[in-house]
Each structure stands twice: as C-alpha cells, then as structure tokens.
Amino acid sequence: MQAAILERFGQPLSITEAPDPQVGTGEIVVDVLAAPVLPYAAEVFSGERNYSLEPPVIPGAGGVGRVRAVGPDSTRLAVGDIVWCDSTVRSRDDAVTPDITLQGLTARGDGGLRLARHFHHGSFAERMAVPTENATPLGPVPPAEAYRWVSLGVHLVPYGGLRAGGLRPGETVLISGATGNFGSAGVAVAVAMGARRVVAPGRNEAVLAQLRQRFGDRVAPVPLTGDPAADDAAVRAAAGAPIDLVLDLLSPAAPASAARAAAMTVREHGRVVLMGGVGDELRLPYPWLMHNSVTVRGQWMYPRVAVRELVGLVHAGLLDLSRNEVTTFPLDAARQAVEHAAAHAAPFQRTAITP
C-alpha cells in the first residue's frame, strides 16, 4: 500500500510503499477514506511539540474508513461498513486507569508508549489497523462524502469536556478559548447539547462575530480588552444568568491568568473543566473553591461511548458538520496537506487527506 511516512523529525514526509496491515484478534483493518490533518501537524513532525511519536511512523490521528477485514472476535462490524476510527487507544488490562496512546500522534507515559509501539501507524495511508472497539459505525455515509466527517475529531474533544462537566439542557456555559480551533467547536457542541446560552470570550472579534452569525442569539460573544475588572463584568453581563459550567480550551500560548479569570466566573456549586494547554499554575483560591463548593476537574480526551453519542447528535441534525469548510488532498500530496493545514488553522477550516 502507499503511505506517507515520517522517517525522522524535521524531515518532510516520504510518500512510499509500506506493508499492508494484518488483521488480528481485537483488531480490524480499514481502507482509509479521509484522514484529518491537524493544524499543528507540522509542529509535531518537526519535533517542536516534543510529542511521544517514534519515527519511522505513518502519522495521522484517526479518520473515516471502510471496513476491509475484521478479527475473529468481532460480532457486529461487517466488511464494507463506514466507520469513524477513533485515535484514542486504551490498554485493555486496566479498566480503571488504562494507558492511553493517540494512534499516529502521541502517547501518555511509558505504558502509552508501549501501546503505541503496537498500534504504531496512523491514517496517512491507504489502509490502517485499529482496535475493534475504536471503530464506530457512521451509518449510510456515501464514501465520496466521507471527508465531511473529518471534523468529528475536532468536536469530540470539547464534547468530552462538556460531557465530563455534566452540561444539561438550559444551562449557561462559558467556553474559555472560544475563538480557537477546539474552542469554536466547543461553542458548536454546547449549542447542540442544548445550552441556553454559550458565553464566548476572546480577542479575535472577527471570529466572535462569525460565531454569533453561525449559531444565533444563544451565543454571547465577549470581546476581551485586557482589563480584568472590565472583562469580568462584560462576561457576567453577557451571560445574563449565573454561569453553570466553564470549559477551558485555551492554547499553550495563553497565560494562566486568562484561564483563572474564566474559571472564577462560575456560580456557586458550578463546575470547571480544564482541557486546554496552559502550562503555568492555575492557582485558584482555596477559600473561593471551598466556600462556593466549586468542582474543578481535568479531562483529557473523552470516553469511548462519546463517539457514538456525538455521531447521534450529527444524525439528529443538532450538530451540523457541513458548517466546516474541508479542503482535501490526495495521499501523494500529504506534504502539501500539512502545509495547508498550518496556513488555514482558522475555526471551521479543516484539512483532510483522502487516500
């Protein structure tokens, strides 16, 4: 089969022949129909992000595939099914705290790295092997329309956070980092889940206006000024009610003070979910947390069942993936796809490889 291979960090992807993956127990093999290209893929492949990815490797975090072969323990999936291949792979020998690898992208800890050495190769190839449990049927999706589903992966991350925070229909949620790639997807998901109001603070006023235009009056954009007191007052006024849940999706470049300011807008007995990349200490005040009975939790990715739930939101018409602009590239143009993704990292702009 043809594949795009990262031979070593800092080198362009090589488009070459690679061995076909073989199906084993607990695994399936798919023909890759569409593989998302992350906006920061170039930073991963250069080594700048210092991800736990061991070249030589076929990169690519999940995507849409057509089942080519199933293992002997598969009872529901059938050859020809169109499935979402989730990149979040969990070890099977610890149900409480499994090791995790993001197939074709990175791994968490030594155990995750060991797991990545088995599920080593990702989706920048004609075919890919994935754990059986990581394949979620998408239903009657025409193969020619598979590329539209690559946006699912971006929306799954904030869905995992909103789900972990127990967002209920009719609640008010603040998305910290709303003008970013994951944050803007979080706004879309919160609306789909029935939030009464989604407060969207940010400095990019063009994106804030776009969010309001796309999702209507339930989204309350708040242009940030840098004045903490004024920004806090503007956020609370835009909410129009106590803020039940804060989801932080700020990028690594953001200061911890921005994440802290957003968290502290939550109401008494409210919830704060941390999913962003802020690298500094958050330093939330102990007395404020205690006296207001605030719940703070971290969340990395999402549980397995979340994929099926989010697919259900799409099929119900509550989450419209067609709002995303997807630019596709053939496999032999993988290098150009990586460059395009980096140059077109704005919200709702996606890049995909379609082998």
pLDDT tens per residue, range 282-328 = 999 999 999 999 999 999 999 999 999 999 999 999 999 999 999 99
Contacts of residue 98, defined as CB under 8 A and 6 or more positions apart, other chains included, come to 90, 91, 92
pLDDT tens per residue, range 106-135 = 999 999 999 999 999 999 999 999 999 999
* pTM of the complete model: 0.95
Q: What is the mean pLDDT of residues 2-23?
A: 97
When pLDDT is cut at 50, 70 and 90, the band that residue 280 belongs to is: confident
Domains of the chain and any CATH numbers: 2-153+320-353 (3.90.180.10), 166-298 (3.40.50.720)
Contacts of residue 354, defined as CB under 8 A and 6 or more positions apart, other chains included, come to 33, 34, 35, 146, 147, 328, 329, 330, 331
pLDDT tens per residue, range 43-53 = 999 999 999 99
